[in-house]
């Protein structure tokens, strides 16, 4: 006799919950490192930034990258 389908599903959900907790800790650290790296890039450069930086700025400011001005960037760095 094999394991019932509901048992397999319950075990998978349990494993997924543990993995989510483990990954959350790691991703929090990665986000902090990326934020520091992007802030440093912004302080040393000027518009137009690379697409990666513009994408990050867009997420931080809640604006499309075409609408980001130097004034917005300065307010974010302050």
One DSSP character per residue, 41-78 reads HHHH--SS--HHHHHHHHHHHTS-GGG--HHHHHHHH-
All structural domains of the chain with their residue ranges:
5-77
**Looking at residue 1, what is its pLDDT?**
58
Q: Which residues of the chain have pLDDT under 50?
A: none
Closest to 66 measured CA to CA, from 54, 76, 77, 75: 54
- pTM for the model stands at 0.67
Residue with tokens 């997924």: 16
Return all residues near 69 (Cβ < 8 A) that are at least 6 apart.
Answer: 47
**Looking at residue 62, what is its pLDDT?**
94
Residue with tokens 């993995």: 19
């Amino acid at each position: 006799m094999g394991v019932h389908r509901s048992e397999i599903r319950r075990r998978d959900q349990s494993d997924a919950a543990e993995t989510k907790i483990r990954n959350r800790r790691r991703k929090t650290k990665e986000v902090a490192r990326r934020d520091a790296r992007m802030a440093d890039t912004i302080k040393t450069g000027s518009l137009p930034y690379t697409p990666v930086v513009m994408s990050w700025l867009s997420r931080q400011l809640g604006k499309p990258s075409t609408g980001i001005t130097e004034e917005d960037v300065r307010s974010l760095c302050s």
